[in-house]
Amino acid sequence: MGNRKVATTVYLTPAQDGQLKELGLRTGLPVAELVRRGVDRILGEHAGILEEASSPAAADRMGLAGRKRQGVA
C-alpha cells in the first residue's frame, strides 16, 4: 500500500468502536490501520466480483458503458 491516504468517514456501532480501540491498545496498531486491514480482507474476498465488474461487457450489462458523471467537466 502506498504512503498516500484518502480520508473518509465511517460510522461504527459503539461496540465496534470499543472493540477496535481495545484491539488497538493490545496490538499497538492505530484504529485506522486496523480498519484498512479489514477493508483489504473484504476486497480480497470479493476480488472476483471486482474483476468481473471492471470488464467492458459487465459495464455494458449494468448500463454503465459510456456514462458520464454529472457535474464533471
Q: Which of 30, 27, 39, 28 is nearest to 1 (CA)?
A: 39
Contact 20, 34 (CB under 8 A): yes
Contact 37, 45 (CB under 8 A): no
Number of domains in the chain: 1
The answer to whether residue 15 is domain-embedded is no
- Report pLDDT digits (tens) over 18-36: 999 999 999 999 999 999 9
Q: What is the mean pLDDT of residues 40-59?
A: 84
Where residue 66 falls (left for φ over 0; alpha for ψ -120 to 50; beta otherwise) is left
The answer to whether residue 69 is domain-embedded is no
- Full residue range of the structural domain in which residue 54 is found: 32-64
The answer to whether residue 47 is domain-embedded is yes
The answer to whether residue 18 is domain-embedded is no
Q: For position 73, what pLDDT does the model report?
A: 47
Q: What is the pTM of this model?
A: 0.67
The answer to whether residue 43 is domain-embedded is yes
The answer to whether residue 53 is domain-embedded is yes
Q: For position 42, what pLDDT does the model report?
A: 96
